[in-house]
Structure 1
């Protein structure tokens, strides 16, 4: 079952499980089915924003009490054979600079571990599927939109939460009330244009209540490895006294590199930053300025290295 647009403790659970049991979810994409392989860019203007980032659940976990921690072991994640990345008016780090909608439909063949961004230019994206939405209910009375992240999880959009990773969430209400959704086939750190490779998703998790990890107050995760790109990265930076403006500069500079050196349109470059580029904090102590980097993995470029 899907609930749309809100995360709150008053939504009745769709299932009850014991601590340590597994649960499987079959989720629509972040558009709640509004985007299909036949959708065109102009249709993005009429998306019903109130129904974006819907989630499946909630699941009531027996013996879960406020102050406990929910351990979420991610056992399986699979995507549909298609996905989409869009520039939505009003969304994204550079929303004021990209007011016109743009849309890319991706082919995600079963069993393939990459997707072509542009086959003629040799640009392909490794697929590392994960759920952008993973969270439990807030104790504070709602409704609460599912679009932001919260201290109890939600739209945390963390690309490392792939198969084999364990997520820890602080429980604020009886039963925890776990929900998930927003399937991503791939995403860069930051998801700068506001969308990843959005796709319908099937996922299986094991939900375990921990009584001895009450120090968890925000989402934590443990991952077996974080694979760095074997060919290295090309990085642009932003240097500003304001972190957000430094981040915006870093992305702008990468867009310019991709346009000049890889012959991408401005819109294509922005979307590539969102699905493959990692936005990271490089320097935060030498006041008054911060250094934010946009790191692009070189291995995605088959015909030419940055």
Structure 2
């Protein structure tokens, strides 16, 4: 456990760099059209963005990252200064009103207008530390009222270990000193990728047409997220970094830990967007293998229906496929996955194989 990627240090591959400074971060809220951009870029340019995980600095964990991680054997010099600075600051954060997430941004993209799509392509994700946290809190998670079994938040410290097969998270099988271990592969991604909305700053937890806390684990390096622009310039923002997550994120959080992300920003004009994707009312992801329409709603059944409708519209616009035939294809050939069930608004995403239409 020796890695720490400090602000202004290490490899910064983007055309621009946006560090995480406590006085500029959003904590529990997302930027709105009233917030001035920290950076303005041209379409096609990339930005290296430092993100900070909220786990280890929240009020129910003591709001002191050095003390929290120190109890798990992490020396103070391996705790990100930004986390300690934010926790020690007078930054307004009310856990009863605000979300938990730390958000970096906003970034304006020249020429982005409502009706366009803003495309955020993940070019590179670098771990800033070699540990993370998986938390379960009372009243939340998929088994609210059943877990946690005891009072208080359960925050499971999770070190990163590396071997010949790559980097993994590691957990004990029990609390016994001689317990065995389980390892799982890392697949870093940003849980929050969004654009600003008009009016008040939105709560950071529920996702929506603006993107936000989508928690789609497919958004790893090489993936692109398309978001309908809500305000001039887009005002993109990112946060909620993960080292790994299973679809559903059933416990409430997955392996939460800080990342340095390099994203490329592009604008898809309204006319081109309609031809490529149809009437896109919400987020759409794309990987090398899949087109990934999404559906969102507090009711998981409705979220699934919304995702199916989005997939039908995509196939009709992109391939001219008759609606009833597209419906049949989706049933026979497409997986519909639960993105997450723990963010008030539940998420479903479909994986449409691009190779089927080559």
- The bucket for the TM-score relative to the shorter chain is 0.5 to 0.7
Q: Report what 1:138 is aligned to.
A: 197
Q: Report what 1:72 is aligned to.
A: 120
Q: Report what 1:33 is aligned to.
A: 57
Q: Report what 1:103 is aligned to.
A: 155
Instruction: Say whether the 8 Å CA contact 1:81–1:110 is kept in structure 2.
Output: no
1:28/1:110 CA distance change after superposition, 3 Å: farther
Of residues 285, 288, 300, the one that matches 1:224 is: 288
1:114/1:32 CA distance change after superposition, 3 Å: closer
Ranges of 4+ aligned residues in structure 1 off by more than 3 Å = 31-36, 109-112, 119-122, 278-281
| Whole-angstrom CA distance in 2 between matches of 1:243 and 1:210 | 30
Q: Report what 2:230 is aligned to.
A: 172
Matched, 1:88 2:137: yes
How far 1:123 moved relative to its partner?
Answer: 1.8
Of residues 27, 44, 53, the one that matches 1:4 is: 27
How far 1:150 moved relative to its partner?
Answer: 1.1
Instruction: Say whether the 8 Å CA contact 1:32–1:52 is kept in structure 2.
Output: no
How far 1:48 moved relative to its partner?
Answer: 5.5
Q: CA RMSD in A?
A: 2.7
1:32/1:209 CA distance change after superposition, 3 Å: farther
Instruction: Say whether the 8 Å CA contact 1:60–1:175 is kept in structure 2.
Output: yes
1:122/1:108 CA distance change after superposition, 3 Å: closer
Deviations 1:111-143 (A, max 9, x none): 84212123753421110000000000123x112
Deviations 1:60-90 (A, max 9, x none): 1110001000111100112221100111122
| Whole-angstrom CA distance in 1 between matches of 2:250 and 2:201 | 26
Counterparts of residues 238-253 of structure 1 (less than 5 Å): none
1:171/1:32 CA distance change after superposition, 3 Å: farther
Structure scoring higher RCO (CA < 8 A, sep ≥ 6) equals 1
| Whole-angstrom CA distance in 2 between matches of 1:110 and 1:208 | 35
Q: Report what 2:18 is aligned to.
A: none
| Whole-angstrom CA distance in 2 between matches of 1:279 and 1:68 | 26
Instruction: Say whether the 8 Å CA contact 2:99–2:203 is kept in structure 1.
Output: no
Q: Report what 1:158 is aligned to.
A: 216
Instruction: Say whether the 8 Å CA contact 2:120–2:226 is kept in structure 1.
Output: yes
Query: Structure 1 unaligned runs (5+)?
Result: 41-46, 227-241, 245-277, 282-306
**Aligned residue pairs, count:** 227
User: How high is the TM-score relative to the length of structure 1?
Assistant: 0.68
1:107/1:122 CA distance change after superposition, 3 Å: closer
Matched, 1:15 2:39: yes
Q: Report what 1:182 is aligned to.
A: 240
Of residues 263, 273, 277, the one that matches 1:213 is: 273
Q: Report what 1:275 is aligned to.
A: none
User: How high is the TM-score relative to the length of structure 2?
Assistant: 0.58
